[in-house]
Amino acid sequence: EAGVVQSPRYKIIEKKQPVAFWCNPISGHNTLYWYRQNLGQGPELLIRYENEEAVDDSQLPKDRFSAERLKGVDSTLKIQPAELGDSAVYLCASSLRQGGHEQYFGPGTRLTVT
């Protein structure tokens, strides 16, 4: 079974530029999460989807961040414009809506804003 796929793995951009991250969850997983992990810290949730609906986006900085999961499968997280403080690893995870306790994480995208 294929795991959670994320691309790109690494991205370096200048501040004020836009950037987008893509995630394809495990097949059949209805719930998809985007986390941000700052250096030396644990991941923090940005947004959670149940199918195509964003059910928890309270931690998403909506002035510059946006996300979509149009068909309830893969998802895109965008930052526009990026700031220096956005440098972090952006992790995508998925889980079954019913049953199953664990979230399965992708390898993450390491973003560096210069």
Partner 1 sequence: AQKITQTQPGMFVQEKEAVTLDCTYDTSDQSYGLFWYKQPSSGEMIFLIYQGSYDEQNATEGRYSLNFQKARKSANLVISASQLGDSAMYFCAMRERDSGSARQLTFGSGTQLTVLP
Give me the least distance between CB of 23 and partner 1, in Å please. 13
Residue 9 CA from chain centroid, whole number: 12
Give me the least distance between CB of 81 and partner 1, in Å please. 25
Check if the beta carbon of residue 49 is closer than 8 Å to that of residue 113: no
Q: How many residues bind partner 1 (CB under 8 A)?
A: 23
Contacts of 5 (CB under 8 A, 6+ apart): 23, 24, 106
Which residue in the set 5, 13, 26, 89 belongs to the binding site for partner 1 (CB under 8 A)? 89
* Count of other CB atoms within 10 angstroms of residue 54: 16
From the list 18-26, 62-70, 78-86, 91-99, the region that binds partner 1 by CB under 8 A is 91-99
Which residue in the set 24, 60, 77, 103 belongs to the binding site for partner 1 (CB under 8 A)? 103
Q: Does 41 contact partner 1 by CB under 8 A?
A: yes
The C-alpha atoms of residue 75 and residue 34 are separated, in whole angstroms, by 9
Q: Does 106 contact partner 1 by CB under 8 A?
A: yes
User: 59 — alpha (psi -120 to 50), left (phi > 0) or beta?
Assistant: alpha
Residues that bind partner 1 (CB under 8 A): 31, 40-45, 48, 56, 89, 91, 93, 95, 98, 101-108, 110
